[in-house]
Structure 1
Amino acid sequence: MPAFSDAESASRARALAEFGAALRLLRVEAGLSLRALAHRIGVSSAYLSRVEHGHDAIPTPDRLTAIASVLELPPAVLLELGRQVEPLVSRYLERVPAANALFLELARRNLSGPQLARIKAFVDAEFPVSAPFGVSPARRLSGLLTPERIVLHLSCAHIEDVIDVAASRLAPPGGALAASALAQEILRRERESPTVLGNGVAVPHAIVAGACPAAVIATLAEPLVVPTPGGAPLRLIVVLVCGEGGRAHLELLAQVARLASHNAADALCAARGPEQLIEQLSQIEAGCG
């Protein structure tokens, strides 16, 4: 068994903790107990608990696909979160060696995220599959944003401050739910089950009956030092509001988790304006979706 350097061990431990936090977030929001999910995928609850706490290896691609099925999420979401896309691709290349030439052509052209999205759209149209593998573009986070709902370089001392600012931009004027009440609902859910993910990203959220899905993204002037799965301080906070739970809500949460796993916080925190942040987010989503 190969020995890991201290840096490699730390990186591996961080990846396990971050995946576990994302999996727990999605399981809880799906309304499943640890025991229920473990039973449905054929593992022990003790094993699943170790995975969620970052104490066991990330599940295999087949098991991640099974978890995605139970959560009613596209398989690509958990495969990317678990960094298990590479083994899946490797197995495909072993079965179909001719595909290597196509990958080489893509690499040689150094295609951007939007360019790859055009190729994916062609593949989807020419070779449709019975069930979607990735997240529908209609459920991407960037589609919920407006420049008014981007807060750059926010100075704050606590995550509660961010939630207050976000709620003021999410609550419609004259709506049934005041900004203060919305903030309290988001905080209530956050206290029940913290939504801190990896790479300095958190996704506080609430389900408000009748609300249209909406989001606020806040980048922080100074990172918040709070307990996080990988130890990175918070610097990017995505606040979500949905009108109901279910698959659409889970996919939005999963989208944020994927952004965390792709280290998107660096690019988004460097945005010089709201429009640039939304454009960068669209490109990141096209590249990983």
Structure 2
Amino acid sequence: MTKTRGAKSFGAVLREKRMAKKITLRKFAEMIGVSATYLSQVEQDHFAPPTADRVTKIAELLGEDPDEWIRLADRVPDDVDVMVRQHPKDMPELMRLATGLSPKQFEVIKEQIRKMKKRGK
């Protein structure tokens, strides 16, 4: 897995957080439904991070923000992937249009979308 400059890899962060919770590799592998060998390989960055749904489960078990972990794993959340597949032309355009917006502008857009969804029900 590639790392951004100075940032820890998914595997390194996973190992650090798991060990901080005092959960053994074998036990955590069982909790997320993978083999201990596979989990060890992920933690050592020999294998890419698991799927988005499994990354979400990892984050939840560690008491962390799933969206942050999905970003760290360089994955796309399943619900976002569905939206992109349903709207293959609109979603990329929407993302490009949003490039450079401030956090406040994003909040305004999100609020407008919430209102539109509410009216549509």
TM-score, normalised on structure 2? 0.71
Within the candidate set 82, 90, 107, 2:96 is matched to 107
| Bigger Cα Rg | 1
Cα 1:103–1:42, aligned 2, differ >3 Å: closer, same or farther?
A: same
One-letter code aligned to 1:89: V
Matches within 5 A, 1:112-191: 112-115=101-104, 117-119=106-108, 122=111
1:19 equivalent in alignment to 2:10:
yes
Equivalent position SS for 2:9: helix
Cα 1:25–1:115, aligned 2, differ >3 Å: closer, same or farther?
A: same
More strand by share: 1
Deviating beyond 4 angstroms after TM superposition, the runs of 4 or more aligned structure 1 residues are 123-127
Per-residue CA distance 1:186-241 (angstroms, 9 max, x = gap): xxxxxxxxxxxxxxxxxxxxxxxxxxxxxxxxxxxxxxxxxxxxxxxxxxxxxxxx
Equivalent position SS for 1:54: coil
8 Å CA contact 1:64, 1:75 repeated in 2: yes
1:84 equivalent in alignment to 2:75:
yes
In 2, Cα distance between equivalents of 1:124 and 1:23: 34
Cα 1:106–1:58, aligned 2, differ >3 Å: closer, same or farther?
A: closer
Further displaced range: 19-28 or 110-119: 110-119
Q: Which runs of 5+ in 1 are unaligned?
A: 1-11, 128-289
Alpha-carbon shift at residue 30 of structure 1 (Å): 2.5
Cα 1:24–1:124, aligned 2, differ >3 Å: closer, same or farther?
A: farther
Tell me the matched-pair count.
Answer: 112
More helix by share: 2
Within the candidate set 7, 18, 41, 1:50 is matched to 41
8 Å CA contact 1:34, 1:49 repeated in 2: yes
